[in-house]
């Protein structure tokens, strides 16, 4: 018998882990940050860089008898701005250490240059996959307008994959599980079977495996969905009882949820394979065939989803990329 999400929250709270729900300006709604009442007093993620988020964080910490100044450690789960925009401000106020995956530290430190490079990368990828120039320009300005909710992060405590972060009452094992983003990091309390998973696993929405620049700064793109599926399979093997996600309620049956996700990706892959068998298509044409107008308004998201699946098909030898020098079309082998 698995717990209900409410019972999972209660059980996590008994283990000293409390969910704080911080507002964001994004469609995803509030972001979950987790306060760990232990030594050091720890906050996992902070929410975006806004006065509203800072106010709420202060209020919700206050409800538990703490203030921002009391925090001793901030843990960053991944590179997305809804999770880390406030880290620098909170660290400055509190003097807390900032722990994050070491291989992501340079990216986190160079937020502005990095966001600009991300935008250029996204525009190039969209143009190569047949998305019209005016759509890419519009998305680029949307992305610029969001940048203020982010911030650079100075990591003072770089973590290695597998490293255990020691507390008075627990140890949390650092697990690098990329896919949703290249820096996705999980924190595992094995004796309590509690996994802090951020956006690696979300209860109601499938995590988008966004095509990204690799953490090592090389110019090739990630095979985000291929990587994400590998990461999910590893998580599936874990004896977790409670998975604490970055948005929404706890996941209490992660095996069933992961199986559901894997089946969905399998179906979508076959659907895309059929569309390509009808005739060669660009990533944009595939996205339009599946999502219609959403492929325009959410062009990067839907393109990431399409390319994730064509990567699977290319790796299986069923589809290949035909590059005419301007755009890439996918065709059957």
107 sits near Zn ion (criterion: CB under 5 A): no
The 3-state DSSP class for residue 118 equals: helix
> Which helix (H) or strand (E) covers residue 265, if one does?
helix 254-278
45 sits near Zn ion (criterion: CB under 5 A): no
Query: CB neighbours (10 Å) of residue 168?
Result: 8
What is the rounded CA–CA span in Å between residue 90 and residue 75?
12
Tokens of 94: 């509190």
Tokens of 93: 């106020």
**Residue 292 phi/psi, 5° resolution?**
60, -130
CB-CB contact of 183 with 195 (8 Å): no
Minimal distance, residue 314 CB to Zn ion, in Å: 26
Between 174 and 208, name the residue whose CB sits nearer to Zn ion: 208
Q: Which stretch binds Zn ion (CB under 5 A): 86-94, 194-202, 218-226, 231-239?
A: 194-202
Residue of 11, 75, 15 whose CA lies nearest to 43: 75
Between 34 and 330, name the residue whose CB sits nearer to Zn ion: 34
Q: Which stretch binds Zn ion (CB under 5 A): 22-30, 35-43, 138-146, 196-204?
A: 196-204
Residue, CB closest to Zn ion:
80
200 sits near Zn ion (criterion: CB under 5 A): no
Q: Which stretch binds Zn ion (CB under 5 A): 74-82, 163-171, 209-217, 284-292?
A: 74-82
Between 41 and 57, name the residue whose CB sits nearer to Zn ion: 57
Task: Work out which of 18, 19, 30, 80 binds Zn ion, going by CB under 5 A.
Answer: 80
199 sits near Zn ion (criterion: CB under 5 A): yes
Minimal distance, residue 326 CB to Zn ion, in Å: 32
Reported residue count of the chain is 333
What is the rounded CA–CA span in Å between residue 87 and residue 76?
8
> Taking CB under 5 A as the criterion, which residues in 275-314 touch Zn ion?
none
Q: Which residues bind Zn ion (CB under 5 A)?
A: 80, 199
């Amino acid at each position: 018998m698995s717990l209900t999400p409410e019972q999972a929250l209660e059980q996590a709270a008994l283990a000293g882990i409390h969910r704080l729900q911080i507002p964001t300006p994004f469609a995803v709604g509030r972001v979950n940050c987790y306060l760990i009442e232990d030594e050091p007093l720890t906050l996992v993620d902070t929410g975006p860089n806004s006065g509203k988020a800072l106010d709420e964080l202060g209020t919700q910490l206050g409800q538990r008898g703490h203030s921002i100044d009391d925090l001793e450690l901030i843990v960053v789960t991944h590179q997305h701005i809804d999770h880390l925009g406030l880290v620098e401000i909170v660290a400055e106020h509190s003097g807390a250490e900032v722990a994050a995956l070491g291989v992501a530290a340079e990216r986190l430190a160079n937020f502005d240059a990095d966001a600009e490079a991300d935008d250029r990368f996204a525009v190039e990828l969209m143009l190569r996959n047949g998305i019209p120039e005016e759509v890419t320009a519009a998305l680029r300005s949307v992305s610029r307008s969001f940048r203020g909710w982010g911030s650079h992060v100075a990591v003072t405590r770089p973590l290695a994959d597998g490293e255990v972060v020691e507390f008075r009452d627990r140890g949390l094992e650092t697990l690098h599980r990329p896919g949703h983003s290249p820096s996705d990091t999980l924190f595992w309390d094995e004796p309590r079977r509690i996994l802090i998973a951020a956006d690696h696993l979300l209860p109601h929405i499938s995590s988008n495996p966004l095509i990204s620049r690799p953490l090592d700064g090389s110019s090739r793109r990630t095979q985000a969905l291929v990587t994400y599926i590998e990461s999910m399979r590893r998580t599936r093997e874990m004896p977790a009882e409670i998975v604490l996600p970055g948005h929404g309620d706890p996941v209490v049956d992660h095996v069933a949820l992961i199986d559901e996700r894997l089946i969905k990706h399998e179906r979508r892959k076959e659907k895309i394979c059929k569309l390509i068998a009808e005739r060669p298509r660009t990533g944009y044409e595939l996205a339009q065939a599946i999502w219609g107008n959403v492929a325009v308004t959410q062009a990067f998201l839907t393109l990431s989803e399409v390319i994730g699946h064509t990567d699977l098909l290319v790796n299986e030898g069923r589809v290949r990329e035909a590059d005419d020098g301007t755009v890439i079309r996918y065709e059957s082998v």
